[in-house]
């Protein structure tokens, strides 16, 4: 809108918008995969990594770290 009046796209602008919208839609799977990887990485660092070292020192039972890794994978499926 310009000064309350609607301004239509030109055919070229419409075509460019369609191309941009399609490119955005085509990238959705990649963006979702990146988000899963980011979420897993953060969860591994904050939740699983400390358990790995605790398990190595015998402070928690064996398999605790593996169970946490599996839980994170379930929480953030690919």
Domain residue ranges in the chain? 33-78
Spatial distance between the Cα atoms of 50 and 74, rounded to a whole number of angstroms:
19
Q: Is pLDDT above 80 for 17? A: yes
Query: What pTM was estimated for this model as a whole?
Result: 0.68
Question: Any residues with CB less than 8 A from the CB of 9 and at least 6 apart, and which?
Answer: 17
Given this model, what pLDDT does residue 2 score? 63
Given this model, what pLDDT does residue 66 score? 97
What is the pLDDT averaged over residues 22-30?
A: 86
**pLDDT digits over 29-70, tens only?**
889 899 999 999 999 999 999 999 999 999 999 999 999 999
């Amino acid at each position: 809108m310009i000064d309350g009046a609607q301004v239509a796209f030109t055919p070229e602008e419409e075509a460019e918008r369609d191309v941009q919208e399609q490119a955005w839609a085509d990238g959705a799977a990649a963006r979702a995969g990146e988000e899963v990887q980011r979420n897993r990485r953060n969860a591994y660092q904050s939740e699983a990594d400390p358990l790995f070292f605790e398990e190595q020192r015998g402070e928690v039972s064996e398999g605790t770290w593996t169970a946490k890794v599996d839980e994170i994978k379930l929480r953030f499926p690919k």
